[in-house]
A and B are shown apart, each in its own frame.
Chain A
Amino acid sequence: MTKPVALSANSLIKTFGGLTATDNLSLSVETGEIHAVIGPNGAGKTTLVNMLSGEMRPDAGNILFNGRDITRMAGPARVRAGLARSYQITSIFRDFTTLENVMLSVQATQGHSFRFWKPVSRDTSLIDPARALLERVGLGDRMEVRAGDLAYGEQRQLEIAISLATEPTFLLLDEPMAGMGPEESQGMITFLRALKGDYTMLLVEHDMDAVFALADRITVLVYGKVIATGARDDIRNDPAVREAYLGEEEIV
């Protein structure tokens, strides 16, 4: 019995000049799973995320989200359809407070923002859901802090909280552990594990401990090609994967 497919990429091709970033790349993510995408630097992981989120158009191939072809859909429309992303390089509103960051996302879920008169700073329909979300993700006591002044780990959490506030069903997580120390990574793993079940996730990650701790299934990319895809433990023991990627890690 297979679960319904939430997101599938079919034969995606993207080239930059002479470089093929993704080469006939196909993968599918089942509803409710955490699907990790791993691969060495330059494997096309971020290109894949950018195509799925709508920030890049594939040269060929298509993307289905909940059965609907979204290949030509603009990024913001995909978010409104429930497909949210987070960034590898922290992308938050540094001059806004933590609370204001999340309030902005909440605002985005409440229809258009052509409302010109009422101040947002006293708008409880924004403040209350934002507060509730920040409490839930453990940033409850950091709400009034300027986001740029948060500790790095907290900024990474806020990065994801901003995406969560858009009320997605699907999260594209581009290296959520990027730049984190072991302790912070452990915190992020706990954080993401708590989200499991509520969201379907595509997790692009370098941190193998995190991948094996979180993922249900794993797809391995090398030079823009899928060299293996399957359940976590099958991938761990796959010789081709070990050679191409995991072995390399061990040497390091």
Chain B
Amino acid sequence: MNALKNPANMFTAVVMVIFALTPFVAPAIGETFYVTVFARIMIWGIAAVSLNLIMGYGGLISFGHAVYLGIGGYTVGILAFHGVTNAWIQWPLAIGLSGLIALIFGAISLRTKGVYFIMITLALAQMIFFLSVSAERYGSDDGLNILARSDFGVSFFSLEDKMTMYYTIFAFLVASVLVSWRLVNSRFGNIMRAAKSNDARVQSIGVATYRYRLTAFVIAGIMCGIAGLLQANFERFVSPDMMNWPRSGELIFMVVLGGMSTLFGPVTGAFVFLMLSEILAGWTHHWHIIFGPFLVLVVLFARGGIAGLLTPKSRRE
């Protein structure tokens, strides 16, 4: 329990407890609306955790990460459109496609570095975005309604049930954090973190880093694809907008805001980012005028994001 003495961890614990209890607390205080809000935040949290895996720990600033939300989402959406709602078909396909696209995009973009990497990930992602815009059959710009959520074919587990849907998302959020925690501290993660700080040196101890980066890229793509398939199910709707480049930018922001290369940073980042935009939007129509400068200030003055602000200086590495 020592970890909870760190205010950043405490904050995360509080957020996770809020997530866990909301379906019970929110109806009791007559704010059922928050169940929806937090489910959305958790989905973004999963996506942000996946981006942090490559951006925070691997130094790979992907500006096209939201494309995997789209891949995961549209796989569910298109299959449902054709009457295939079986989750055992939808989910493996969504996961497989996200991984495949990440493999192809990673194989191309990881040959570049720095600003070129950012630009190439952006360009590749926008390609898929425009593909979805031009798919008239699947609603083009207007998106695609999903009439039935993924069906697992068992009576005790139906995503049509609100509670089940909510806690499925919650479970995936917890799983994504757990997976990234194990990954980052494993031999694989060791290579990733080392290559982030000094790629040439990792090569000169005999490790060809490309394969490791590519693998990380694929894992992150799959994780984000899962967020996408959850989003499609939760919203019962997919549209090109879910993978347009501003979404990728927001993901980057959530990670930076919460604290790059920290385990829970992306989750708190998603929480604060979306809550704040929700609250500000409630105050004024011109909420971006407040939100924009706030983001700028965070980047300028809180280098480690929220996790950095809340972590005592002595504990920082």
Are both chains from one complex? yes
A interface, CB within 8 angstroms of B: 53, 55, 74-77, 79-80, 84-85, 87, 91-96, 103-105, 107-109, 113-121, 123, 146, 162-163, 165-166
Q: Judging by beta carbons under 8 Å apart, are B186 and A118 in contact?
A: yes
Q: Given A91-B201, A104-B194, decide whether A116 and B186 contact each other with a Cβ distance below 8 A.
A: yes
B124 CB, nearest partner CB in chain A, Å? 25
> When chains A and B are docked, how far (Å) is the Cα of A84 from the Cα of B200?
13
Q: Judging by beta carbons under 8 Å apart, are A104 and B204 in contact?
A: no
State whether the Cβ of B292 lies closer than 8 Å to any Cβ in chain A: no
Q: Judging by beta carbons under 8 Å apart, are B198 and A93 in contact?
A: yes
Q: Judging by beta carbons under 8 Å apart, are B206 and A115 in contact?
A: no
Q: Judging by beta carbons under 8 Å apart, are A119 and B186 in contact?
A: yes
Q: Judging by beta carbons under 8 Å apart, are A120 and B205 in contact?
A: no
State whether the Cβ of B81 lies closer than 8 Å to any Cβ in chain A: no
Q: Judging by beta carbons under 8 Å apart, are A115 and B204 in contact?
A: no
Q: Judging by beta carbons under 8 Å apart, are A113 and B197 in contact?
A: no
Kindly list chain B residues whose C-beta atoms are within 8 Å of the C-beta of A95: 197, 317
With beta carbons under 8 angstroms apart, the residue of A79, A117, A121 that contacts B182 is A117
Q: Given A113-B191, A113-B212, decide whether A165 and B186 contact each other with a Cβ distance below 8 A.
A: no
Chain B residue nearest to A111 in the complex (CB): B187
> When chains A and B are docked, how far (Å) is the Cα of A92 from the Cα of B198?
8
With beta carbons under 8 angstroms apart, the residue of B190, B197, B208 that contacts A107 is B190
Decide if the interface of chain B is mainly helix, strand, loop or mixed: helix
**0 or 1 for each of B179-198: is its CB under 8 Å from A? (1 = yes):** 00011011111110010011
A55 CB, nearest partner CB in chain B, Å? 7
Q: Judging by beta carbons under 8 Å apart, are A120 and B206 in contact?
A: no
B176 CB, nearest partner CB in chain A, Å? 14
3 tightest Cβ-Cβ pairs between the two chains A and B? A79-B206, A119-B185, A113-B187
Chain B residue nearest to A53 in the complex (CB): B204
Given A79-B204, A84-B204, A119-B185, 16 new contacts (CB under 8 A): A75-B203, A76-B204, A76-B208, A85-B204, A91-B200, A92-B201, A93-B201, A95-B197, A103-B190, A108-B207, A109-B206, A113-B190, A114-B212, A116-B187, A116-B188, A162-B205
16 A-B pairs with CB atoms under 8 Å apart are A55-B203, A75-B203, A77-B206, A79-B203, A87-B204, A91-B201, A91-B204, A93-B194, A96-B197, A114-B188, A115-B187, A116-B188, A119-B186, A120-B186, A120-B187, A120-B189
- Count of B interface residues, CB-CB < 8 Å: 24
> Which residue, B190, B200, B203, B212, has most C-beta atoms of chain A within 10 A?
B190
Kindly list chain B residues whose C-beta atoms are within 8 Å of the C-beta of A165: 205
Q: Given A114-B188, A118-B187, decide whether A166 and B182 contact each other with a Cβ distance below 8 A.
A: no
A9 CB, nearest partner CB in chain B, Å? 18
Q: Judging by beta carbons under 8 Å apart, are B190 and A74 in contact?
A: no
Q: Judging by beta carbons under 8 Å apart, are A113 and B317 in contact?
A: no
> Which residue, A76, A92, A121, A166, has most C-beta atoms of chain B within 10 A?
A76
Q: Judging by beta carbons under 8 Å apart, are A117 and B194 in contact?
A: no
State whether the Cβ of B311 lies closer than 8 Å to any Cβ in chain A: no
Kindly list chain A residues whose C-beta atoms are within 8 Å of the C-beta of B200: 55, 91
Q: Judging by beta carbons under 8 Å apart, are A91 and B198 in contact?
A: yes
Q: Given A76-B206, A76-B208, A96-B194, decide whether A120 and B201 contact each other with a Cβ distance below 8 A.
A: no
State whether the Cβ of B158 lies closer than 8 Å to any Cβ in chain A: no
> When chains A and B are docked, how far (Å) is the Cα of A240 from the Cα of B275?
76
State whether the Cβ of B9 lies closer than 8 Å to any Cβ in chain A: no
> When chains A and B are docked, how far (Å) is the Cα of A117 from the Cα of B182?
5
Kindly list chain B residues whose C-beta atoms are within 8 Å of the C-beta of A123: 187
Q: Judging by beta carbons under 8 Å apart, are B185 and A121 in contact?
A: yes
